[in-house]
């Protein structure tokens, strides 16, 4: 298939610039083949049944954007892609001239670092002193809102661009399908006999990178780190054995589950994945998917087309635009049934 097959026109006013006033006060489009049901996210429990399993991504968004300067005085901006250890991180770097190995940097007029080496499009930065990289980011970094959100991050974003169950810091983008869930919703779901489990996939900035080739088979995916806890493995197996449905909350949860199952059900409980899911892919774990709306020509739009069916998804997007749904990270949600 071609990238142009996944294009659509989105009026700019449908890109959600802010979250709804109340978490969870979003719309929900249920997509089951040719059937489209316009409802509200608070109605999600009626689409679930006892014995189902919801799998969430518990990654926590870090303040990954740093501003600083080179020792020579040139301004620099770094977007941390991955924290490697207490002192080192891989980052995208913007500067008038790319820093060379050995270049001294200082962020927020306080935190010194050295550019050690290039690794493809990324720069290895080593921070000096005894402070942990995550602590430096928390003290001096800025929340990395997606490029289509135009305002400067504020205190409200710090709360709302984070799921209520976020635990493990390391993501530079939120697993946005989870932003709709409140503690009350989770309690209601569990009280109805629906199980919940967690995976961790640290979402990278590559999730926003455009596909730059026309033939999608030639696209190279970015890598992301995932972990499937033993408790989640056990719940997935028990759910399948009992005839329940495994429901991924977000494409990141789906990618973690499917990446771990390429050579047997959850056979690789942790690792780096560059799994690229396109129409024709045979899903091994996930039966249903809760997701937001995705960018035109994006790998995530290709993923949902693989899951629900290409014609079904493109029709659902046309419907959502006509019905004035809110799009992207702070937007509304879909519940997708897997095509048979």
Classify the C-alpha dihedral 294-296-302-304 as positive or negative.
positive
Average pLDDT over residues 127-136: 94
Give the per-residue pLDDT at 129.
87
Domains and CATH numbers, the chain: 3-61+156-337 (3.40.1780.10), 65-140 (2.40.10.240)
Helix, strand or coil for residue 36?
strand
Q: What is the pLDDT of residue 221?
A: 86
Residues 262-287 have pLDDT tens digits of 999 999 999 999 999 999 999 999 99
- For residue range 315-330, list pLDDT tens digits in order: 999 999 999 999 999 9
pLDDT, residue 180, reads 98
The closest alpha carbon to 141, from 195, 80, 229, 69, belongs to: 80
pLDDT, mean of residues 95-123: 94
pLDDT bucket at 223, cuts 50 / 70 / 90: confident
Residues in CB range of 124: below 8 A, 6 or more apart = 84, 88, 89, 90, 115, 116, 117, 118
Hey, is 22 helix, strand or coil?
Answer: coil
The DSSP string of 136-161 is HHHHH-B----TT--SPP-HHHHHHS
pLDDT for 124 beyond 80: yes
Which pLDDT band, with edges at 50, 70 and 90, does 121 fall under?
A: confident
The share of the chain scoring above pLDDT 70, in percent, equals 99
């Amino acid at each position: 298939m071609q990238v142009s097959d996944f294009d659509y026109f989105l009026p700019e006013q449908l890109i959600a610039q802010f979250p709804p006033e109340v978490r969870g006060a979003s719309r929900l489009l249920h997509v089951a083949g040719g059937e489209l049901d316009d409802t509200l996210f608070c109605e999600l429990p009626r689409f679930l049944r006892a014995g189902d399993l919801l799998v969430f991504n518990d990654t926590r968004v870090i303040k990954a954007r740093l501003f600083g300067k080179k020792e020579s005085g040139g301004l620099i901006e770094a977007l941390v892609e991955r924290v490697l250890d207490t002192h080192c991180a891989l980052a995208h770097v913007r500067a008038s001239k790319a820093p060379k190995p050995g270049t001294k940097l200082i962020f927020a007029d306080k935190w010194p670092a050295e550019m050690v080496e290039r690794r493809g499009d990324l720069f290895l930065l080593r921070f000096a002193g005894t402070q942990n990289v995550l602590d430096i980011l928390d003290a001096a970094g800025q929340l990395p809102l997606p490029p289509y959100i135009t305002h400067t991050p504020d205190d409200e974003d710090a709360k709302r661009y984070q799921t209520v169950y976020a635990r493990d810091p390391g993501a530079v983008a939120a697993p946005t399908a989870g932003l709709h869930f409140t503690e009350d919703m989770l309690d209601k779901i569990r009280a109805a006999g629906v199980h919940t489990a967690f995976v961790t996939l640290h979402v990278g900035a590559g999730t926003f990178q455009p596909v730059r080739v026309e033939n999608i088979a030639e696209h190279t995916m970015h890598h992301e780190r995932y972990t499937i806890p033993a408790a989640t493995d056990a719940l997935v197996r028990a759910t399948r054995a009992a005839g329940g449905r495994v429901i991924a909350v977000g494409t990141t949860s789906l990618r973690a589950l499917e990446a771990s199952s390429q050579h047997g059900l959850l056979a690789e409980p942790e690792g780096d994945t560059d799994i690229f899911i396109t129409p024709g892919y045979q899903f091994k774990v996930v039966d249903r998917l809760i997701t937001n709306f995705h960018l035109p020509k994006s790998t995530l739009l290709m993923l949902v087309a693989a899951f629900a069916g290409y014609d079904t998804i493109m029709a659902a997007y046309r419907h959502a635009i006509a019905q004035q749904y809110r799009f992207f990270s702070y937007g509304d949600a879909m519940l997708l049934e897997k095509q048979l």
